[in-house]
Structure 1
Amino acid sequence: MSHANKDKSQTATPVMHDPKSVAETVDWGLIPTMIEGESRTSGKLLYKGPGGSPESGIWICTPGYWDCHVTADELCHFLEGRCTYTHESGEVIEIEPDTAAFFPAGWKGTCRVHETVKKVYMIR
């Protein structure tokens, strides 16, 4: 079978132009592990594979302080906002716009969102 005969929906590459300007998002609810405040999340999926992995898109989170347990490898490129991740070992990771971070599966600590963050992410 030639590529010309394939269904385009099966071969289309997911693309999101200017992710910083994405305004139409879906409410993904409150962070369930809050320590202080009430962080609300929203976002827009770019791609979700069979069985839910990999997953990529835009994630937005409002200010608050919460326990964070990463259950699958996650690469993040923060576009806006400021937050501080503190690993259970005491390592402090300061996030500001245009910061990229990789959180391996099993990472545990806390996250304090100082100013609403927007990030592009990929989870696998």
Structure 2
Amino acid sequence: MTPVILKASANLPSNELDSISPVARPIGEPVSIMRSKVAFKSSSDSTSAGVWECSPGKWRRQVAEAEFSTFLSGRCTFTPDGGPTIVLEAGDSIYFHPNTNGEWKIIETVRKAFVILP
């Protein structure tokens, strides 16, 4: 199987990211806008990998699958339901267990490389 590469993902211009949509569960204004470029999506399960970007705002996380991400740029916080606030910035990596719920607060547009796992 051939490896999948997304060259210079930290420097990829935002207008070269494929999908553009507002977050599904915003909390107030401004409403964050998400952009992504999926480099790999499995045909047999929900595994996917790529780059994701999000503009400032506050919203509820709703990813049901496990996720591992490394932040490439920007600053944000994530407050898991019932847990302490986590500050994330460029260079940080995080693993979300399946069904991790909580609140994102994007302070400065963030970009992360992600892998969604079944």
Match of residue 28 from structure 1? 20
Alpha-carbon deviation of 1:110?
Answer: 0.3
Identity of aligned residues (%): 27
Q: 1:118 aligns with which of 103, 111, 114?
A: 111
Query: Which stretches in structure 2 are left out of the alignment for 5+ residues?
Result: none
* Distance in 2, Cα, partners of 1:15 & 1:26: 16
Match of 2:67 in 1: 74
- Contact conserved, 2:64 with 2:99, CA < 8 A, in 1? yes
User: Structure 1 runs of 4+ off > 4 angstroms?
Assistant: none
Aligned length: 114
Q: C-alpha offsets along residues 43-84 of structure 1, whole Å, 9 cap, x if unaligned?
A: 111100014521000000000001113300000000000000
**2:49 alignment partner, one of 56, 61, 68:** 56
More helix by percentage: 1
- In structure 1, stretches of 5+ residues that fail to align are 1-10
Structure-1-length-normalised TM-score:
0.86
Q: Paired residue for 1:84?
A: 77
